[in-house]
Structure 1
Amino acid sequence: MELSLVNNLWVIIGTFLVLLMQGGFILLEAGSTRMKNAGHIAGKTIFTVGISSLVFWAVGYGFIYGEGNWFIGLSNFFYGDASFAGEGLSPAIDFMFQLVFAAIAMTIAFGGFAERAKLSAYVVFAVLFSALVYPVVAHWIWGGGWLADHGKQDFAGSTVVHLTGAMAALAATIILKPRIGKYNKDGSSNDLAGHNQVYTALGVLLLWVGWFGFNGASTFGVEDAFFGFVILNTQLAAAAGAIAAMLLVWALTGKADVPTTLNGALAGLVAITASAGFVEPWAAVIIGIIGGLIVVGSMRMFDKAKIDDPIFALSVHGTVGVWGTISTGFFATPELSTGMDWGKPGLFYGGGFEQLGVQIMGVAASGVYAFVVSFIILKVMDKMMGGLRVSEEEEIIGLDLSEHGSYGYPENIPNPNDTKGA
């Protein structure tokens, strides 16, 4: 079998795995929120993947990879390259792989909308985020923009996907304000617990498996079986993150909290995403451990600041996304970073502070852009649409009924048409 065919097969398998991560997000988000919003969580994920796909086809890919300038690409709109692969990767397969990454960023952003945003807000913001926010950051780093010129390292998207989505989620959370009943007048917090930890755990496991496509297929080929090394680093970081988070919350509270352990695994995955192809396995373990510890502190920090984040998107994808990106500035090896012609070695390998400085600059610029533009978009939407948040009555009833007219768990809701003895 020709090598080019195997390369194309591996990347399309990776594409399927990344798309399957949306199923993981459905279970994670539905399980982490209340039963009255479960159907809404599932449904909005599907239609926003549809919206982001069409927008990416129309303009997103062109803004990222089209011929343009340091800021944005300006060609290849309404993508339709039907050429065959030849010796390289099929243009259509490459396009599909990039598309599912854009859809993941969109899903992360919507974590900041959970349990209180109008359905129309999802629709409009999905279009604008997919056109004006994600593609710009992706162009800067992956599409030949100004951060690429500086050698910024982001192997599979700790910044491009996770931090960008999280900063949009932060903007939404600030504008929408906390859910009803989350905080008391004295500033104390109430636990609006999710309704199904089994769903949440299964969602994390699906995401974990999907991440092997997310990181592993970012090698864009099977030469030297390097994708196996990337997957090994991914596995070790996720495992280390889960254990570190569990042990820390156990030490702090006396209980091995299940949601925190699950978020620790996700933190390890997010942390290694930027560095999976640049670091040695022992470093992947350290990166995952620190990610797991950071997520515990970050979850508590946002809660004390009265920033209501039901899905913990800000901590898992935002705070840990920052750490994951910066970590390459410490741990990137000369063989892997320079051998792939992507940046320079990290501080611990004699590279000095140069790569670390580039990583910090990239995080700051990308995070500020994603937050500011998302905040402006959402603020304008809030004014023009008469508010982004559902009414108090609709929020109490739940978005399943108020936005969709049916419950995700209809058998648990009394049916007025039922008659005793019927």
Structure 2
Amino acid sequence: MKLLTKKSLQWAGAWLLALTLSQPALAADTTIAFSVGNLWILIATALVFMMHLGFATLEAGLSQQKNAVNILFKNVAVLAIGLLSYAAIGFNLMYPGAEFAGGFFGFAGFGVGTDAQGLTTAYNENYTYWTDFIFQAMFAATTATIVSGAVAERIKVSSFIMFSTVFVAICYPIVGMWKWGGGFLDTLSTPFYDFAGSSLVHSVGGWGALAGAILLGPRLGKYLGKGVIKPIYPHSMPLATIGVFLLWFGWFGFNGGSVLSADAGAVSKVFVTTSIAGAAGIIGSMIATSFFIKHLDLTMVLNGALAGLVGITAGADQMSVMSAAAIGLIAGMLVVGSVLTLDRMEIDDPVGAVSVHLVCGIWGTLAVGLFGELASTAQFMSQLIGVVAIGLFSFGFAFGMFYLLKVTTGIRVSEEVERVGLDHHEHGLSAYRGLYLMMQKESEEAKAEKKEGVTADSKEVAYI
């Protein structure tokens, strides 16, 4: 009996010692996992930040060189606007906390819960409050950047800045809250699904882009009547190509970071589906351009890559390799058809932003109900509800904002400014050596023509 008691005590002591020693190890493992997860999301944030350089070079390359500085200026301004307005208002609209009106609107204070909880696993097991904010802020700025491309070469800088400030501060966060902040789309019987923002980011920006392009009207000399379309050629395809590669690089953070953890399996799968869809988008656009245009148009192929990337964003974590390829292939074909259709409708979009981000964003959102792990009739209907709700609100908000600016401050530069270039009149410098003097000469010629009564309709517009 004594021997049994002695052995029991020995086993109990050993067990208690093991348990005591294991506690620091478990705590250490939790701390390491938290630090690794937080670090990965910060790295992903830096990758999404790099996408803004990609947008800038792509948009500048696809535009005329006399407007290159203007394009770059807007892309720099949008990043500043996005960060500041999202910090002041947007983040609090998007994540309002438990109390908000029926899942449609709510507001919290910036910094709520950011004492010790914001820096530990008490806020989230994978990241801090501050990491959460900066990652989301990069997404917010992207929505206004998308609009920039569609209104390029003819919008007033001041009007664009005012629009972007309100759009990022109010429109995008409210739509984002509907799903990511626990709003009504997230509480449907079959919840709406948008992993990284095919609709919540890209379509929102795409709807704003469409509203702006419609109200601004086309660039001078683009449409000559009776269905005649005069191409306005990009000035630097190397810049545009660099931009697409930078965007693709940044998409690893955009989608990979949206896992919101450093889960190796989930992140690596998202990297694969994202790349497969982008590659398939290129092939889809090549097929479509060969059929519709009869030659391989590099601008279409570049947009095909982006189309595939936008298309997979809603369900990157849910798709097999084959499903990702199918989604990307169809997106690549859709973007070509959309660009040609918008041209026939005389809606001028210099960089194809509406086709890439709106059309393919909608396609990617609906594809969640057709492909992958969530595919079902109920899921497709929820996706359709989300597409319609987001479209009505985003387009209505953007159209109303642009219209208000149009009837007050005006949104379009004068014909003289557009003809000579926004770089000269809006910024007083050129992106290229020697071009500034040419701009000055054209400005003087335009003034002389104005005195003589010569209009854009009575002469062929000279493009640089």
Letter in 1 for 2:350: P
Letter in 2 for 1:172: G
Letter in 2 for 1:390: V
Structure 1 position 364 matched with structure 2 position 359: no
Equivalences for residues 233-312 of structure 1 within 5 A: 233-312=273-352
Structure 1 position 124 matched with structure 2 position 162: yes
Show CA shifts across 1:28-77 (max 9, x none).
00000000000111111111210121110001000000122311221124
Distance 1:320 1:346 in 2: 18
Give how far 1:183 is off.
0.2
Give how far 1:415 is off.
7.8
RMSD: 1.6
Structure 1 position 7 matched with structure 2 position 31: no
In the other structure, the counterpart of 1:154 is: 194
SS at match of 1:407: coil
Letter in 2 for 1:81: T
Structure 1 position 73 matched with structure 2 position 106: yes
Distance 1:297 1:241 in 2: 13
Distance 1:84 1:416 in 2: 53
Distance 2:161 2:438 in 1: 31
Equivalences for residues 116-265 of structure 1 within 5 A: 116-150=154-188, 151-265=191-305
SS at match of 2:199: helix
Distance 1:329 1:214 in 2: 22
Letter in 2 for 1:377: M
Pick closer, same or farther for the CA change 1:397–1:285 going to 2, 3 Å.
same
Which residue of 427, 432, 436 maps to 1:404? 427
In the other structure, the counterpart of 2:398 is: 374
In the other structure, the counterpart of 2:462 is: none
Deviating more after overlay: 43-52 vs 268-277: 43-52
Task: Give the fraction of aligned pairs with identical amino acids, expressed as a percent.
Answer: 40
Distance 2:74 2:348 in 1: 20
Distance 1:257 1:142 in 2: 38
In the other structure, the counterpart of 2:131 is: 93
- Kept in 1, the 8 Å contact 2:33–2:126? The answer is no
- Kept in 2, the 8 Å contact 1:154–1:275? The answer is yes
Distance 2:160 2:438 in 1: 30
Show CA shifts across 1:275-295 (max 9, x none).
101111110000000000111
SS at match of 1:410: coil
- Kept in 2, the 8 Å contact 1:40–1:400? The answer is yes
Give how far 1:408 is off.
1.4
- Kept in 1, the 8 Å contact 2:424–2:436? The answer is no
SS at match of 1:88: coil
In the other structure, the counterpart of 1:341 is: none
Structure 1 position 27 matched with structure 2 position 50: no
Distance 1:415 1:283 in 2: 51
- Kept in 1, the 8 Å contact 2:159–2:411? The answer is yes
Give me the TM-score of the superposition, normalised by structure 1.
Answer: 0.92
Distance 1:256 1:365 in 2: 37
Structure 1 position 327 matched with structure 2 position 367: yes
Letter in 1 for 2:407: K
Give how far 1:111 is off.
2.0
Show CA shifts across 1:382-417 (max 9, x none).
1121x1100000001111111111111133344899
Structure 2: give runs of 5+ residues left out of the alignment: 1-28, 441-464
Which residue of 410, 416, 437 maps to 1:393? 416
Deviating more after overlay: 211-220 vs 76-85: 76-85
Distance 1:107 1:53 in 2: 13
- Kept in 2, the 8 Å contact 1:57–1:79? The answer is no
Divergent runs of 4+, >4 A? none
Larger Rg: 2
Structure 1 position 115 matched with structure 2 position 153: yes
Letter in 1 for 2:56: I
SS at match of 1:400: helix
Pick closer, same or farther for the CA change 1:180–1:286 going to 2, 3 Å.
same
Distance 1:111 1:144 in 2: 31
Distance 1:302 1:78 in 2: 44
Give how far 1:332 is off.
2.9
SS at match of 1:255: coil
In the other structure, the counterpart of 1:56 is: 86
Show CA shifts across 1:157-211 (max 9, x none).
0001100001001111111100000000223111101101111111000000100
Give how far 1:79 is off.
7.0
Letter in 1 for 2:109: N
SS at match of 1:184: strand
Letter in 2 for 1:50: A
Give how far 1:122 is off.
1.4
SS at match of 1:299: helix
- Kept in 2, the 8 Å contact 1:48–1:122? The answer is no
In the other structure, the counterpart of 1:339 is: none
Distance 1:163 1:297 in 2: 17
In the other structure, the counterpart of 1:346 is: 375
In the other structure, the counterpart of 1:338 is: none
Show CA shifts across 1:216-250 (max 9, x none).
01001112431000010000000000011012212
Letter in 1 for 2:382: V
SS at match of 2:170: helix
Structure 1 position 84 matched with structure 2 position 119: yes
- Kept in 1, the 8 Å contact 2:45–2:138? The answer is yes
Pick closer, same or farther for the CA change 1:79–1:114 going to 2, 3 Å.
farther
- Kept in 2, the 8 Å contact 1:57–1:78? The answer is no
Pick closer, same or farther for the CA change 1:26–1:161 going to 2, 3 Å.
same
Give me the TM-score of the superposition, normalised by structure 2.
Answer: 0.84
Distance 2:265 2:43 in 1: 15
